Structure 1
Amino acid sequence: MKLLILLAALISSHHVSATLELDSADLSSLKTLNLEGYLSFHDTHLASRDFGDCYHSLPSAILRPKSPQDIAKTLQHVFDLGPSKLTIAARGHAHSLRGQAQAPHGIVVNMESLADPKKRRVHEGGKSPYVEVSGGELWIDVLRQTLKCGLAPRSWTDYLHLTVGGTLSNAGISGQAFRYGPQISNVYQLEVVTGKGEVVNCSAQKNADLFHAVLGGLGQFGIITKARIALEPAPEMVKWIRVLYSDFSLFTKDQELLISLEKGFDYVEGFVIINRNGILNNWRSSFFTPENPIQASRFNSNGRTLYCLEIAKNFDFNNANATDQEVESLLAQLSFIPSTLFSSELPYLDFLDRVHASEVKLRAQGLWEVPHPWLNLLIPQSTIHDFAEEIFGKLLTDSSNGPILIYPLNKEKWDNRTSAVTPNEDIFYLVAFLSSSTVDSLEHSLSQNRRILEFCEKQGIGMKQYLPHYTTKSEWAAHFSHRWQEFVRRKAAYDPLAILAPGQRIFPKANAFA
């Protein structure tokens, strides 16, 4: 209780300053650590930016661990320093948006240094196959490994070049989540290094509080160094379909129907097309192949906002005909514009890694490493129409600077014991504004995000941010709502000196607890 009181008092101040000055003795003491890997003090600029490219904080050191023990020794050392201002952040593939994996004047842990193909273990036997991998492994590498055994994880993110620990610290969602839940609902066991430097194995049966705290915990309670991920038989192929709607009500009605079916499509997403000039130019190019040379410019929206339903059905070569019949039956239940149906077939791996194909093209054009002021919202079913009418119908005038994703999720597939928070309704929508900006247009994009958030607040939309970004105690408390006190309790239990994940700006660094 004393820890809780002290921590609650501490977080009443504003977020961690990026201008903290460290005691040189504290920094020098790091050089005495006996590690398998090493600490680097001269290339810290490599960890000062991320995919969002909106926040830039220079750490004092980068830890490149060779084992979880390297991370544990470093955390234990900083914990033992007590009053030190040193903080530690785990950095995966640096796909964070607002500096969440940065540690101003602290230590950034390069989690990819832990990745080792020789240590990936696929367990095929029994009713519950799984793969055990380092928290620093990329999901694309995990997938390639499991496919060799004819298996694959059940739930994904749209982009696979992210680390396992990174997505599990948030939730990990994509078009399969309506059926299987987010990635954090498909984990059997974790190895975690807490803010005290303790290496703990945890699961729903063992050290369950820490297990659920870390999943969706924004890196606040421990660093995920190993994860045991649920697997299922992998399909060989995917039938990938897109259709258009001009009526938002019909679009959401069909999406909600599809996520309610026990036997339906295996993937359901969608996106918004806003182009007042009429020409549709932002259907994701990865959909169109030499075998499927559809030109999006043949469509004219006549100035209307259109909605694209994106669905997929997994199949094997030996059941291709049956799959075609199932798809035809499912499509007959939908109310899309008939002339806009387009279908493509591709290998399962290529479908899951589809965004990377776009990345390669953007990198070649110098358009990948630019600011990405993304905004990801979870909107309750009861207010999604009010949200769409204002945002898609009035506030936004085009969607040419990046996709706007929208698709529904089933709350029953989310484990409410984890730290992730969602709207309190059975169905809620992910609405993701995935914009790219130049340095000159960045402020415009951020201003647009603020206007969207202000509308949600003023109209009582009841949204929750996914990959949340706040800077004050009151904002974070509102985000976690009735679960805030539990979040504070877990912080006091597993990272009482607030060493971990300072870039989230939730808990300022504590000097010490009595």
Structure 2
Amino acid sequence: MAVEAQALVTMVAVFLLSSFLTKSAIPEAAAGGGSSFLDELRDALGDDAPALVLRDDAEATARASADFGNVSSPVFAAPQAVLYPSSPGDIAALVRASWARAPASPFPVSARGRGHSTRGQAAAPGGVVVDMPSLGRGPGGTAERLSVSADGGYVDAGGEQLWVDVLHAALAHGLTPRSWTDYLHLTVGGTLSNAGISGQAFRHGPQISNVLQLDVITGVGEMVTCSKEERADLFEAVLGGLGQFGVITRARIRLAPAPARARWVRLLYTTAASLTGDQERLIADGGGVSGLLDYVEGSVLLADQLAGSWRSPGSSFSSDADSGARVQALAREAGGVLYCLEGALYYGGASADGESDVAKRLEVLLRELRYERGFAFVHDVPYSGFLDRVHSGELSLRAKGLWDVPHPWLNLFLPRSHILDFAAGVFHGILRRDNDNHITGAGGPVLIYPMNRDKWDEKMSAVFPEEEEVFYTVGILPSAPPATSTDGGDELRRMEEQNEEIMRFCEAAGIPCVQYLSYYAGQDGWEKKHFGPARWARFVERKRQYDPKAILSRGQRIFTSPLA
């Protein structure tokens, strides 16, 4: 892939840790072709059937089978039909029809937002995919599905709403959600079904820790409003629950006063120890530099990927024509691997800090942190522009036909005590290995940043390391060449083999890790590698209570048949 194209891919991919396909209107000819499955389904729906928009044509099912990962089999993932709901009641009716199906087994039902899954997790093989964006096109439209409370304490957002639209709705009132993903063109229901993480999570927790209330459709077709005070077990099960216990149709999200601007900082380091040491100081409670940054992330920069890449901090943050060459020289001196601390200081607007305050905070940071002197890059941008900073890169990729390429990503949570062992074996080992007489690198960006365990709720379904107070996110986010290119298939296989080697290394080195946006081929992997005995027992019990026939989200491959 050309350097320019790879740079654009990297620019978008670095922020996409946390469901995306272009929004399209429901075609006028929305009715299916009268297949036996649709006929049977309409019979099961009874009086609800005329109100539901269903399609079973090849175009609809192919679109519902595709996702951002582009590595899953569309044949395996194909549904028999797609539902375009105009209200949550349409979804509930569909689930009840599956529940009541007899004598045959229930058919799978999966909610699909923007298709940003990477391994077919939103698929409904042989069943029905629910096109969640259609909810925003129903009676009342987005205005009915996205509203800020009169007292400014929260925003109610439909599960199909994009986070970028939630942002703008809140900003119109001088408010903002506190926790984000690093890419905003994802649905509310999609990220809350996983966790929703980014550089704000160290302070405010993941997005699931900032939800006040949910409307959910369970696997028996029940429409439930739940919160910490009402139906708390369902509320906690659904948040981070991978779609296993209910379809999120509305979320009430906590708001706070919004800043106006962000002072965006990138600092270069030559060792993992110096980077992680500073990151941990920044997210700690107490004095020193803790609390000075509102956003803390980091990345690994491999020397062979710096040329022409936006991840070279000087390329977009400095008018110094020599900055790129200086970064390259530093990378060579450091043995081919650099580390970048990326942070932001929010100020202005309704926030407490003004420009003079943020200048003082930045002065302390640049004095106290242990980065390589002369390699600090600072840029000032609007707050909304900082949060939505990836969108222009995405549009460029789409225009070049480079968005729908394979993305064999690997996202891990690692305990703090093992992060340097991982860095030595993976960043300086596997990712730097010589292959066919050239250094391959990761084929994309590599993220590394810490979070505080006490900002996560262990009662929720999301799995994270519980052994230590601090754990790290590591995201290895390659973009393979298009499958139509001469080496596309070989490169994809190499990247997937690299992911497998990383997991084998962790096992051999005794490094406990948890996959985020997890993928396992079957229930055994989920039980033994992801949840562990105690969490698995609770997960199964919740499944038995809220979706005992395993109707929901079979594309996750956790439960593929009704529970005994």
> Is TM > 0.5 for Structure 1 vs Structure 2?
yes
Q: Any conservation in 2 of the 1:279–1:297 contact (CA below 8 Å)?
A: no
**More off after superposition, 318-327 vs 135-144:** 318-327
Q: Report the residue type matching 1:49 in the other structure.
A: A
Q: Residue 459 of structure 1 corresponds to which residue in structure 2?
A: 509
Deviation at 1:41, TM superposition (A): 1.1
**More off after superposition, 177-186 vs 464-473:** 464-473
Q: Residue 40 of structure 1 corresponds to which residue in structure 2?
A: 55
Deviation at 1:296, TM superposition (A): 3.1
Deviation at 1:474, TM superposition (A): 2.5
Deviations 1:295-354 (A, max 9, x none): 534422114310000010001178101210111112222100111100000001110011
Query: Measured at CA, do residues 285 and 194 of structure 1 come closer, stay the same or move farther in structure 2, by a change above 3 Å?
Result: farther
Q: Report the residue type matching 2:67 in the other structure.
A: D
Aligned pairs (5 A) from 1:286-435: 296-300=324-328, 301-302=331-332, 303-316=335-348, 319-397=354-432, 398-399=440-441, 401-424=443-466, 425-435=468-478
Indicate yes or no: 2:66 matched with 1:49: yes
Helix, strand or coil for the counterpart of 1:81?
A: coil
5+ residue gaps in structure 2?
Answer: 1-34, 433-439, 484-488
Q: Residue 82 of structure 2 corresponds to which residue in structure 1?
A: 62
User: What is the alpha-carbon distance in structure 2 between the residues aligned to residue 408 and residue 451 of structure 1?
Assistant: 23
Residue among 491, 495, 516 paired with 1:445: 495
Query: Measured at CA, do residues 280 and 290 of structure 1 come closer, stay the same or move farther in structure 2, by a change above 3 Å?
Result: closer
Helix, strand or coil for the counterpart of 1:272?
A: strand
Helix, strand or coil for the counterpart of 2:374?
A: helix
Query: Measured at CA, do residues 285 and 236 of structure 1 come closer, stay the same or move farther in structure 2, by a change above 3 Å?
Result: farther
User: What is the alpha-carbon distance in structure 2 between the residues aligned to residue 130 and residue 399 of structure 1?
Assistant: 44
Deviations 1:63-96 (A, max 9, x none): 1101100000000011000432510111001000
Q: Report the residue type matching 2:549 in the other structure.
A: L
User: What is the alpha-carbon distance in structure 2 between the residues aligned to residue 362 and residue 297 of structure 1?
Assistant: 26
Q: Report the residue type matching 2:371 in the other structure.
A: F
User: How many residues are treated as equivalent by the alignment?
Assistant: 486
Deviations 1:9-58 (A, max 9, x none): xxxxxxxxxxxxxxx75542223432544111112111111000111221
Q: Report the residue type matching 1:29 in the other structure.
A: E
Q: Report the residue type matching 1:509 in the other structure.
A: S
Helix, strand or coil for the counterpart of 2:186?
A: coil
Q: Any conservation in 2 of the 1:188–1:204 contact (CA below 8 Å)?
A: yes
5+ residue gaps in structure 1?
Answer: 1-23
Query: Measured at CA, do residues 77 and 237 of structure 1 come closer, stay the same or move farther in structure 2, by a change above 3 Å?
Result: same
Deviation at 1:492, TM superposition (A): 0.5
Q: Residue 125 of structure 1 corresponds to which residue in structure 2?
A: 151
Query: Measured at CA, do residues 480 and 64 of structure 1 come closer, stay the same or move farther in structure 2, by a change above 3 Å?
Result: same
Indicate yes or no: 2:245 matched with 1:221: yes
Aligned pairs (5 A) from 1:150-229: 150-229=174-253
Q: Residue 40 of structure 2 corresponds to which residue in structure 1?
A: 29
User: What is the alpha-carbon distance in structure 1 between the residues aligned to residue 56 and residue 448 of structure 2?
Assistant: 43
Helix, strand or coil for the counterpart of 2:278?
A: helix
Q: Report the residue type matching 1:137 in the other structure.
A: Q
Q: Residue 103 of structure 1 corresponds to which residue in structure 2?
A: 124
Q: Any conservation in 1 of the 2:410–2:475 contact (CA below 8 Å)?
A: yes
Q: Residue 302 of structure 2 corresponds to which residue in structure 1?
A: 274
Q: Residue 486 of structure 2 corresponds to which residue in structure 1?
A: none
Q: Any conservation in 2 of the 1:282–1:400 contact (CA below 8 Å)?
A: no
Helix, strand or coil for the counterpart of 2:190?
A: helix
User: What is the alpha-carbon distance in structure 2 between the residues aligned to residue 421 and residue 430 of structure 1?
Assistant: 13
The alignment's TM-score, normalised by the length of structure 2, stands at 0.83
Deviation at 1:281, TM superposition (A): 4.2
Q: Report the residue type matching 2:388 in the other structure.
A: D
Q: Report the residue type matching 1:316 in the other structure.
A: G
